[in-house]
Every structure is written in structure tokens, then in C-alpha cells.
Chains A and B, each alone.
Chain A
Amino acid sequence: MLWLLLFALVAVLIGGIVGLPTVMATGVVTGIVALAALKCPSRFLLAAFWIWLEGMLLYLLFASHDRTLSAFGLPRPALVMLAGLWLAPILLWPLGFALTYKKWTGRE
């Protein structure tokens, strides 16, 4: 996992310097998940987080110019960003933590 974390952060650095947002997005999501993996007891949970975050970021990168209006009169990508990256993870991450809590406390 540490090698994965290192490569992910190098990808974010290179993506940031060269201006490659897709590389940067994949790097940061992988970096966050690899860092969490140092102690998170569930690989399934980490895989779910990775897929969720990566999917959201890639959608936002490739659909950012979509002007289709959705709920609250917001363009669809703005709503996906607010609902999928800001509000939904409030349930997902803490719920994941609570569900794997016993494993986490028992593992130490």
C-alpha cells in the first residue's frame, strides 16, 4: 500500500505540474484510499470508496460543460458534485467506519 501511495502522490504531483487533471484525479483518489488502507480494516469498503470517488471525478472532468438543468435549477454536473461528492460521502464514509468499527477496534 505504501508503494501505491507513493506512486499515487507522484501522479498527483506530475499531473498538477504538467496540467493533466485526469492523472491528478486518479492519483488523489488512489492516494486517499491507499492512505486509509494503512488502518481501514475492510478492503471491500476501500474498493467501494475508490470506485465512487473516481467515478464522480471522471464524470465531472468529462461532463463539466454539460448545461442540462436538473434539480434546483443547477446544471447537472454541479448537482452531481454537490450531491455525489459533498453530501453522499457524509453518509458513506462515516457509515463505512461505523460498520467496520468492531473490526477496527479488535484488530489493534
Chain B
Amino acid sequence: MIAGAIVAYLALLSLIGVWSARRSRRSSDFYLAGRRLGLLTAALATMASIMSGFVFVGGPGLFYSVGLGSFWIVISASFTGAMMCWLLARPLHTMAADAGCLTIPDVILVRYGCRFSSGFAAVAILLGVLGYLATQLLALGIVLAGVLGTSIWLGILLGAFVLVLYTTAGGMVAAVYTDVVQGGVMLVSTSVIFGYALSAGGGFDGMSAVILSQAPELLSPWGLVGPVTCLGWFSLFALGSLGQPHVVHKMMMIRDVRLLKHFPWILAVCMTVCSLVWLGVGLSVKSLVFQGDLPALAHPDDAIISFLHARAPAWLGALAYAGIVSAIMSTADSFSNIGAGVLARDLPRVLGRQGEPTVQRSRTFSVLVFTFALIFALSVKGLVAYAGILGFGIFAAALTPLLAVGLNWPAANFWSARASLIAGTVAAVAGEAMSRLGLYPLQIPPACLALLLSFIVFLGIGLMPKRCAPGSA
């Protein structure tokens, strides 16, 4: 039943891709879905892009290993939408409508008039996209292999085939409309899993009592990681979400910014419903393990899969796997489009090539992005999770100050942009590398440190008196 449901679901996504292909005739269709998105479509597509497979798989796993402290990652979801509207919606929409910007490096080029900054941002985005996409493909492969009973690499190939089919054919039109379907599936599946997990674990009261009797610190607001790490996560996700290109890109696709009045609450409610799975499954699995009803997990990320195998009926398994596949694919499709944009138009523009690429050329580069990510996912499996973490950090540190502050502060100049891009990207890569090698001595997450450095450099240079500023001579 589960395998049949997943195959039918993948076929539906492919059909949406074929249908969207006829609506993707120009570059603005391929990259910005024709700038025709309404309120609900934009909110669901944004939510589906933000909520990756991490929410279903990594989130409950993190709750299992560090407790309630893991929740600081999703707490900022309530105000991300409002911040995005205030700071980014209007400038990004105006740049797409009036200056013909189609991608984030385009926006940086127009705002700062600096090819170096645009090119550096494009390279940083490409690095992040490849890392993130490889993580999503690997996760998709693992899930499909588990459901269909194939090997992981066959699961990766099958998942990649469906993704390539619909994103290449329909570009962002297909990505957005499949995101709406996927977002709907995610909302239904997370709500049902949450309810089921609560009842399987003996209700909130029962689960809390079991956990408090065995390891009470897991239900402390800071979990096992302590306040510095938790506040670091909070800072990173509250501020760094404003620099995620696959998310903020949606602001360029909206038909009219006056539609956004109800965007923040729709986005906040949808994201909160999705993060229920994190809380419900995390609490339930921990309490079941403490009671001896579930074996201790070999790896925390197995939390949801162990729960589904041990406790869930087939229909819930099918719904849950559809939700996980949706979460993974809805993030991956946006990344492929952004990566194609970097290769087909951003980097060539920085190198002096004029004119828009044809849709056919963009499709070719979309396939190329998938091919690179696939090779990466299949060849360096051990590094893929690291690359995914690095991806978020690079996006946050490299882009957030340039977009969230720079688009609203006329005095910010290209010196601030250049310095902040370099500082943020280098700090993100170096910090994550040190952390992986066990050489990072601080409790504050390296990506948060990089984001803060990038902001401070951007603001510091921008606020310098003109006579002291770089280039003033």
C-alpha cells in the first residue's frame, strides 16, 4: 500500500511538470513563474520550500538527542513571514517588475552596481545549492529505498528522475504548483502524525511524566545543549531565514505586494503545523524508548522511521512517507531552479555576456545542476550532511545583510557588500570545517558566528564616516 501510494504520488508530480511545461515559454516564466502568484499559492510554496526533509527526519532526531532545546530552530517561524514582508517583499518585487531582475544575484548587481558582489553571491549560492540539493537527493534516496525496497542509489536515481522531469520541463511554474500540492500533503500528514504520536505515547501528560522521571533536563527550555547554543540557533534562524534564496525568491514572484496582508499569518500557521511532527514524534519516541516499548535508536535521525515501523498502521505510513517525500522534493525543486539560474544567466552576465538565456538553455543547466548534485550525493556520502548544514550557513551569512539591510538602506555601498560577502562566506566555510574536525571551541553555532560577523562587517563599513570609508580617496 505504501509503495503504491508513493508511486502514484510521484506520477502526479510528473504530470504537473508536463502540464507546466506549456506555461514556461519565457525566462520570467522559468525563473519567476511568470510573476503571477496569488496569496495562498505564494504562502504554501514558501512554506514548502522552507520546510525541508529536516523537519520530518532531522527535527524529531534532534529532539530525541537534545530535547526541547532543539525547538529553538523553529521558534522564529512565527515572525519570519512578517519580517520577510516588511523588509524584502516590496524591494524584491519592484526590482523584478521594474529592473527585470530574475534571480538574487541579479538583485545584488542592480542594487550595488558591482559585478564582483553579484558574481561572488552567485558562486556562494551555487555552492550552497549543490550541498543542499545533494542532501535532499540522498534523503530522498534513503526514503524511497525504504518504501520501495530498492537500493539507496536506485532510490536516489528514481527521486532525481522525477525531480528532473518536472523542474526541467516546467521550471519555477512546475516547482510552485507542485509545492502547493506538496505543502498540502505536508500539512495533512504532520497534523495526523502529531495526533497519532501523542496517542501512541500516552498523551502529553503521560509522555512528560515518563521523560521527567528519567531525564528531566530534556524538557528544560534549553535541553541538553544549553542556552548559548539555543540562542545561537534562534539568532541564526530568525535572521538567517531572510537570506535563503529559495525562500526570498518567492517575493519576486508575487503578482502584487498588496496581496500580502494575510501572508505572515498563513505562513506562520502552516509552518507551525508542520513543526508539530518535530514535537510530537520527538516526545513520543523518547518516552517509548524510556518505557522499553521501542529499542534505543542507533542513530537519532531514525526516530520517525522507527516510530512508523513499530507503531503506525499502513495508511499512516503511506501518509507520513508522502509527507517526507513532499518536504524533500519541495525544497529540492526550488534549488535546482536557482542553481540553473546561476549557471545559465548570473555567471555569464558577470563575465560580460549580454541577453537572456533561452528557456531551452535554462532547462539544460537545470539538468546539469542535478547531475552535479547527483554525483556529489553518490560519491561523497559522508560529506553530504555536512554540505547541507554548510548550505544554510553560507546562504545566511553571505546574503542576509545584503538583502535584509542593504535593500532598505540607501547608504549601503558595494564596499559593504563585498566585505560582508567575503567575511560571511569564509567564516561559514571555515567554522563548519573546524566544527567537523573537532577544532571549533565555542558553544555558539559556527553558522551563527558567520552570520553575525557578516552583519557587523556590512554595518560597520556602511556606517563609517565618508572620509574614512574605503574608496573615499
Chain A: residues with CB nearer than 8 A to chain B?
2-3, 5-6, 9-10, 12-13, 15-17, 19, 21, 24-25, 28, 31-32, 35-36, 38-40, 49, 57, 60-61, 64-65, 67, 69, 72-75, 77-78, 80-82, 85-87, 89-98, 101, 104-105, 108
Contacts and interface: CB of A to CB of B under 8 A. Distances in A.
Nearest 3 pairs of A and B residues by beta carbon: A16-B444, A94-B265, A73-B208
A12 B264 contact: no
A35 to B, nearest CB: 6
Given A35-B404, A38-B408, A90-B268, A75 B205 contact: no
Contacts of B83: 32, 35-36
Kindly state the interface size class of chain B when it binds its partner: 35 or more
A64 B69 CA distance: 11
A87 B272 contact: yes
Interface in B424-464: 442-444, 448-449, 452-453, 455-456, 459-460, 462-463
A81 B409 CA distance: 34
Given A73-B204, A86-B75, A16 B220 contact: no
B86 to A, nearest CB: 4
Interface in B71-86: 71, 74-75, 77-79, 81-83, 85-86
B444 A97 contact: no
A90 B269 contact: yes
Looking at chain B's contact residues, is the secondary structure mostly helix, strand, loop, or mixed?
A: helix
B5 interface: no
Interface in B4-41: none
Contact of B71 (A28, A72, A81, A95): A81
A30 B235 CA distance: 11
Nearest to A19: B228
A104 to B, nearest CB: 7
B239 interface: yes
Nearest to B230: A21
Given A13-B449, A96-B82, A6 B239 contact: no
A3 B411 CA distance: 13
21 contacts: A2-B463, A5-B405, A6-B463, A9-B455, A31-B235, A32-B79, A35-B87, A35-B404, A35-B405, A36-B87, A38-B408, A60-B222, A78-B221, A89-B79, A90-B78, A90-B272, A94-B262, A97-B81, A97-B82, A101-B261, A108-B90
Given A36-B86, A38-B87, A64-B222, A3 B456 contact: no
Contacts of A9: 452, 455-456, 459
Contacts of B221: 60, 64, 77-78, 80-81
A16 B75 contact: no
B268 A78 contact: no
Contacts of B231: 12, 15-16, 21, 24-25, 28, 57
A16 B232 contact: yes
